[in-house]
Amino acid sequence: MRKAFLILLSVLTAGITSTAQAQTQPFKTGDRIAFVGNSITEQGYYESYVWLYYMLHFPNRRITIFNRGIGGDVVKQMYDRFDDDVVPADPTVICLTFGMNDTGYYEFLAANADSTAKVRIDRSHHYFDLLADKLKAMPNVRKIMIAGSPYDETAKIKGNYFPGKSKAMEQIIAFQHQAAQDNHWGWVDFFHPMTEIDSREQQKDSTFTLTGTDRIHPGNHGHFVMAWLFLKAQGLDSLPVADIVIDGDRLDRSTNCKITDLAATHTDVHFNYLASSLPFPVDTVPRLWGNPHRQSEALSVMPFYSSFDRELLRIGNLSAGNYQLTIDHQPIAQFTADELAQGINLAKLTNTPEYEQAVSVLQLNEERMALESKLRAYYYVQFDCLRDLGMKFKDGLAAMDSVNIASAKRWDIASKRDNYRFARFPAVRVAWQKEIDILINEIYTANQPKTHLVEIKRLDL
């Protein structure tokens, strides 16, 4: 039965993916993209990884991505804050995702779980229709509907087990997908492919999950998978960082790069190399609070290097033996003639100058995201606390007192109180935004590819 379910899931996922690739166009120069969602979007990582890919692969295609996630939001709350939070970003593209909170949590432990779930799903559908009307009133803005990451109720871990929640989420995904089809919006599916990965990996390790102990929030590895799925839906999974084929002293291929001053013998090859893109550096640091998973863990469950991070160098007609690869006179790695003939992926080498350059872009992007998170925490307090008190954007001492009082009862507000203490002053928020703008400018300077001298020499001469 389980095998049949997985086969059916694969078929359904394949159908949804093909629709996504047909509709979801890559971002263009000048695009301003708002990702609207709940806490999974507010965490900032999947959309940040998407942007990092664009920063590295398309260094001259400057775009801007805005985090418009608020933790705990259902689609009604996204509808309520849309004019104050999304529209001011002046987006050219809006990516919308919801469903995790809309379906509820502890309600699934009650005897009448199915009937109450239907009420919540119908309510979500109602407010989505209202939000869809707002989206349709913006004809010059492209829309992308995202089926959110799954609630993992199959992992053999403790805590937060709400049976039937995934089924309710699929019903929300069904009307999201229908709306995308009816309105010719882009479509990206996180839910089904991630569920399939979880199911596959749990056959080998029952505790495996792309989320974490809460079954809800993806770890860094889950966010990386989400970014991979988003980029794949945009049809970007066939673009190499570079593809170089040298046979003897002849350059047979130089895709997405320029090769000049090539000189080669059977034992010595050197050339100047200018790629049009940079490799994607895979992070090995756990960055999400309370979740130990690393971005690099996703490499075992998705073909990222073969689909998105291919910087291939193939050199044929070398005499047998061992060879030293140097770049800009720095030793990088050693390979046999057979390995060089089969091809090596330079993107996997973490000590190349191109990789180091890409890491600098990654770190700048992390700093940008950290500042944006401070601004999102400010808006969280506005929309999830002060609005209900009739004090939205009234950031005086009375608002600070109200936040202090709320902090005594609500852990979420308490976690953002100190941030609000600074952010309630407009000058502070302006300064943070200026820092973000400076970082983005630095990124689009630091990401410009450079020419490197590549040398391959036989060692045993």
Domain ranges of the chain: 2-233, 242-276+310-461
DSSP three-state, residue 291 = coil
Angstrom distance (rounded) from CA 110 to CA 454: 65
Contacts 24+ apart (CB under 8 A), 121-128: 121/168, 121/171, 121/172, 123/76, 124/74, 124/75, 124/76, 124/98, 124/99, 124/172, 125/172, 125/175, 127/74, 127/75, 127/76, 127/79, 128/75, 128/79, 128/98, 128/175, 128/176, 128/179
Q: In what order do the strands lie in the sheet with 32-37?
A: 64-69, 32-37, 93-96, 142-147, 186-189
* CATH code, residues 2-233: 3.40.50.1110
What count of other Cβ atoms lies within 10 Å of the Cβ of residue 124? 23
What count of other Cβ atoms lies within 10 Å of the Cβ of residue 431? 13
In terms of Cα–Cα distance, which of 64, 75, 67 is closest to 27?
64
DSSP three-state, residue 235 = coil
Angstrom distance (rounded) from CA 362 to CA 168: 37
pLDDT tens, the chain, 461 aa long: 333 333 334 434 444 444 333 469 999 999 999 999 999 999 999 999 999 999 999 999 999 999 999 999 999 999 999 999 999 999 999 999 999 999 999 999 999 999 999 999 999 999 999 999 999 999 999 999 999 999 999 999 998 999 999 999 999 999 999 999 999 999 999 999 999 999 999 999 999 999 988 999 999 999 999 999 999 999 999 999 999 999 989 999 999 999 999 999 999 999 999 999 999 999 998 888 889 999 999 999 999 999 999 999 999 999 999 999 999 999 999 999 999 999 999 999 999 999 999 999 999 999 999 999 999 999 999 999 999 999 999 999 999 999 999 999 999 999 999 999 999 999 999 999 999 999 999 999 999 999 999 999 999 86
Tell me the one-letter amino acid at 52: L
Global confidence as pTM: 0.94
CA distances from 52 to 81, 197, 212, 388, 390 (A): 27, 24, 24, 36, 38
DSSP three-state, residue 54 = helix
